[in-house]
Chain A
Amino acid sequence: DAGITQSPRHKVTETGTPVTLRCHQTENHRYMYWYRQDPGHGLRLIHYSYGVKDTDKGEVSDGYSVSRSKTEDFLLTLESATSSQTSVYFCAIVQVPNTEAFFGQGTRLTVV
């Protein structure tokens, strides 16, 4: 157990509304990642963080922003949700140097 908690676990929201997903870890890991998982695409990297206030974009970052003001929390925000952002979102901590990832339980987001 890597001590990763995602909230909420499920959410239904309307198109155009802002949504924030939270990832909380208890073990002081430096690297935290957000992925989305869709059928046929596996896990796609949205954003990642390598320290407080240090973040970088992944392969599908458009429409998403992140913030990391404390080591333990990594927030993913959809500024204006669209139906194409309906997905399962996973947070992970990544251990170096071999980039081994440990995941939270996921958040199922539905945009209607």
Chain B
Amino acid sequence: TQLLEQSPQFLSIQEGENLTVYCNSSSVFSSLQWYRQEPGEGPVLLVTVVTGGEVKKLKRLTFQFGDARKDSSLHITAAQPGDTGLYLCAGAATDSWGKLQFGAGTQVVVTP
């Protein structure tokens, strides 16, 4: 059982549509990160959320941290083919700082 559960596992949408990816846990996190990974490369950090209820925007991407700091979401508005990739959430639970763990990832495919 993974500490961080991501859903859905796979998402295929048309260009211009919106999508949301979820990251849930029963543990509390002092911070959560979102990464995007392209084939053959390592994950690249997109954003870190720290405060419960926090919302951060990165162009068309909106990230939210749950009030209880146990979950997070990533919303993409008007998706483009360049948004295609594997999206991963990650964090270290407050009771096991140092053990930075990742969700299984959500594969997003945006077709023109």
**Chain A contacts to B: CB under 8 angstroms:** 31, 33, 35, 40-45, 48, 50, 56, 58-59, 90, 92, 94, 97-106
Contact of B101 among A40, A59, A104 (CB under 8 A): A59
Chain B interface residue number, banded: 20 to 34
Query: Is A98 touching B50 in the complex (CB atoms < 8 A)?
Result: yes
Query: Is A42 touching B102 in the complex (CB atoms < 8 A)?
Result: yes
Q: Contacts A35-B102, A56-B98, A94-B100 hold; do A43 and B88 have CB atoms under 8 A apart?
A: yes
Q: How far is the CA of A31 from the CA of B40 in the complex (A)?
A: 24
Q: Contacts A42-B104, A98-B31, A98-B48 hold; do A50 and B41 have CB atoms under 8 A apart?
A: no
* Chain B 17-41: CB-based contact to A (< 8 A → 1; otherwise 0): 0000000000000110101000011
Q: How far is the CA of A90 from the CA of B98 in the complex (A)?
A: 17
Q: Contacts A41-B104, A42-B104, A98-B33 hold; do A48 and B41 have CB atoms under 8 A apart?
A: no
